[in-house]
A and B are shown apart, each in its own frame.
Chain A
Amino acid sequence: MFTIDFQAFLDALPYMGKGMLGIFVVTAVIVLVVSALNNIPEKKDKKNND
């Protein structure tokens, strides 16, 4: 089956662009949400305050 199909390579390139863009967008959203979660003030343990 060993054939070189340069057109198929060119046709696949947009998937590479869309795939990497998709991963970075989703990752960036997760980074932002996690950063926000990290800023939620922690509820103090009542027992420790007593």
Chain B
Amino acid sequence: MGVLLENFSTVTFSQVAMWIIGAVLIFLAIKKEMEPSLLLPMGFGAILINLPNSGAQHIIDVMFRVGIDNEFGELMPLILFIGIGAMIDFTPLLTNPKLMLFGAAAQFGIFFTLCLASLLGFDLKDAASIGIIGAADGPTAIAVSMELGSKYIGAIMVAAYSYMALVPLVQPPIIKLCTTKKERLIRMDNTAGKAPSKLTKILFPIVVTIIVGLVAPDAVALIGFLMFGNLIRECGVLNSLSETAQKVLANLVTIFLGITIAARMRAEEFLTVDTLLIIALGLFAFIFDTFAGVMLAKFMNLFSKKKINPMIGAAGISAFPMSARVVHKMGLEEDNQNFLLMHSIGVNVSGQIASVIAGGLILTFFR
């Protein structure tokens, strides 16, 4: 009997705290449906790794080294990018390429948070890894923070995925604060522009990879895998591969990735003041992303005859498609005939490209 109870005496308060955190993540995933595909495995992994003398610790460490932290690079996030690329339809963006500028502006939160994290005493590489929470893109955040050797990857992932799930709560108040009712009522032309040709859709992923690769070589893996997935989708002759990438591949990697991140959620590493600071800084990143996207639209309205509803600028963060839906819903709340979805989806997918460019630039600066 003594042998059976021996392990109980080794339970620590901090381990119990991590079980509670794991349970909260599982609750949010199931009850609130917040990014369930990642928060659930992360929550369960947090419990697994924090059981005293857990036999799962070694295997999760091995999975972490194989999939994320190995000499060949961040394998799993990059493979996941193939699936994400295959899921994205860039048509709204190709129809109106100027929308990409909002995606660029909405990366401001990344760099401003980098500065704030430096102010709070984090070294530059950790500050950059924390700033990348503002990319609102899990694989980019994992790839960049691992490449920079940040020890805070557990906290960064929890913050990134939590705020991505909380976009419907985080963005609306910021958008309302930055805009007037008159601006929110601006109607935009919904007549579909000239649809992009098949050739354009095929050339787009190739051209973007070359352009980004020439400017930020460290981003080639990130943008290249994303665009490879998109090329599979758009080429028209690999429908079976495209479907596999979108569903089976993405799902498999997501399961593996979520539970593997738990390797960096050990109580002694996770329960620190730094984690709280990182979670707070992550919120700032999302707030300033939203702010910058809206402000660029307002700025463009100063010179443009065709007014832009500034709310669509907020969709420039990479959280797809939540952010686009939030903007569309807010437009309908102000005026039930104001349909912003087409524009906000275009801005939202541009945010996905821009967040990868931002990640690549950060790697170029700090690696």
Mark A residues whose CB is within 8 Å of B. 1-6, 8-9, 11-13, 15-16, 18-20, 22-31, 33-35, 37-38, 40, 42-43
Q: Are B200 and A27 in contact (CB under 8 A)?
A: no
Q: Does B215 contact A (CB under 8 A)?
A: yes
What chain B residues lie within 8 Å of A6 (beta carbons)?
119
Q: Are A9 and B119 in contact (CB under 8 A)?
A: yes
Mark B residues whose CB is within 8 Å of A. 93-94, 97-98, 100-101, 103-105, 107-108, 110-112, 114-116, 118-121, 124, 127-128, 194, 196-197, 199-200, 203-204, 207-208, 211-212, 215-216, 273-274, 277, 350, 353-354, 357-358, 361-362, 365
B94, B111, B124, B127 — most chain A CB neighbours (10 Å): B111
What chain A residues lie within 8 Å of B94 (beta carbons)?
34, 37-38
What chain A residues lie within 8 Å of B103 (beta carbons)?
27
Could you tell me the distance in whole angstroms from the C-beta of B88 to the nearest C-beta in chain A? 15
Q: Are B208 and A30 in contact (CB under 8 A)?
A: yes
> How many angstroms between the C-alpha atoms of A39 and B353 in the bound complex?
22
Could you tell me the distance in whole angstroms from the C-beta of A36 to the nearest C-beta in chain B? 10
Majority DSSP secondary structure for residues of B touching A: helix
What chain A residues lie within 8 Å of B116 (beta carbons)?
9
Q: Are B357 and A9 in contact (CB under 8 A)?
A: no
What chain A residues lie within 8 Å of B97 (beta carbons)?
30-31, 34-35, 38
Q: List 12 A-B contacts (CB under 8 A).
A: A1-B121, A2-B277, A12-B115, A15-B111, A18-B361, A19-B358, A26-B357, A27-B103, A31-B101, A37-B204, A38-B94, A40-B200
Q: Are A12 and B124 in contact (CB under 8 A)?
A: yes
> How many angstroms between the C-alpha atoms of A19 and B131 in the bound complex?
12
Could you tell me the distance in whole angstroms from the C-beta of B361 to the nearest C-beta in chain A? 5
What chain B residues lie within 8 Å of A19 (beta carbons)?
107, 110-111, 114, 358, 361-362, 365
Q: Are A20 and B107 in contact (CB under 8 A)?
A: yes
Across the interface, A38 reaches (CB within 8 A) one of B107, B110, B196, B207, namely B196
A4, A15, A27, A29 — most chain B CB neighbours (10 Å): A27
Across the interface, A29 reaches (CB within 8 A) one of B98, B119, B211, B350, namely B211
Closest 9 interchain pairs by CB? Answer: A9-B119, A16-B111, A3-B121, A34-B97, A12-B118, A8-B118, A27-B104, A12-B115, A37-B200
Q: Are B216 and A22 in contact (CB under 8 A)?
A: yes
Across the interface, A27 reaches (CB within 8 A) one of B100, B112, B216, B362, namely B100
What chain A residues lie within 8 Å of B127 (beta carbons)?
12
Across the interface, A9 reaches (CB within 8 A) one of B118, B200, B211, namely B118
**Which residue of B is nearest A15, CB measured?**
B365
B115, B128, B215, B362 — most chain A CB neighbours (10 Å): B115
Q: Are A23 and B354 in contact (CB under 8 A)?
A: yes
What 20 additional pairs, Cβ within 8 angstroms, besides A9-B115, A19-B362? Answer: A5-B118, A5-B121, A9-B116, A12-B114, A12-B115, A12-B127, A16-B114, A19-B111, A19-B114, A19-B361, A20-B107, A24-B105, A26-B212, A26-B215, A29-B211, A31-B98, A33-B207, A37-B196, A37-B207, A38-B196
> How many angstroms between the C-alpha atoms of A34 and B211 in the bound complex?
12
What chain A residues lie within 8 Å of B273 (beta carbons)?
1-2
> How many angstroms between the C-alpha atoms of A26 and B357 in the bound complex?
8
